[in-house]
Structure 1
Amino acid sequence: MEDQRSEARRRALMPGKILLASGGAIDCVLRDRSASGARLNVVSVIGIPDAFTLVISTTGERRLARVAWRKQNEIGVGLSSV
């Protein structure tokens, strides 16, 4: 399978939060990232919307995220500025 990303991703192990429109949050871990995307580990993809705000806990950075793909405990997202 050919990698279709426009940028190479770098490994990362950073805690984050998926902010839900309802006011709740889901913990996640950024496994790798680039300027325009990331791979997130989650306990379950159930309940994660197609678009959300991602907060990177260590830096406080907030990014708009749109889900590109889902697996059992991982999601790939495209990132843009808030």
Structure 2
Amino acid sequence: MTDFRIEKRSAPRYKVLKGATIAFDGNGVECTVRNLSSRGAAIDVADPVGLPPSFMLVIEADQFIRRCRPVWRSDKRIGVAFD
């Protein structure tokens, strides 16, 4: 079976498996980054309900901090774009 999906992203994403934190208003929510690019990421979170329209994605191991906003959701996975 051939996969005919067309990549619509403006920057290629790379598969990763990194622990991270969604930080907002002095709170932190644990998450896992599943793929990452210079423009955005896909993250898994136990409960996406209640996340604000903008937050910081922090990957401490890589000293990576980016302000981002959700652009799509699917069950427990969120696609974010970096601001």
TM-score range, shorter-chain basis?
Answer: 0.7 to 0.9
Of the three residues 7, 10, 14, the one matched with 1:6 is 10
Matched, 1:59 2:59: no
- SS of the aligned residue for 2:62 comes to coil
Task: Kindly name which structure, 1 or 2, has the bigger radius of gyration based on alpha carbons.
Answer: 2
Identity of matched residues, %: 32
Within 1, Cα distance between the matches of 2:71 and 2:63? Answer: 23
| TM norm structure 2 | 0.87
CA RMSD of aligned residues (A): 1.3
Query: TM-score, with normalisation over the residues of structure 1?
Result: 0.88
The runs of 5 or more residues in structure 2 that have no matched partner are none
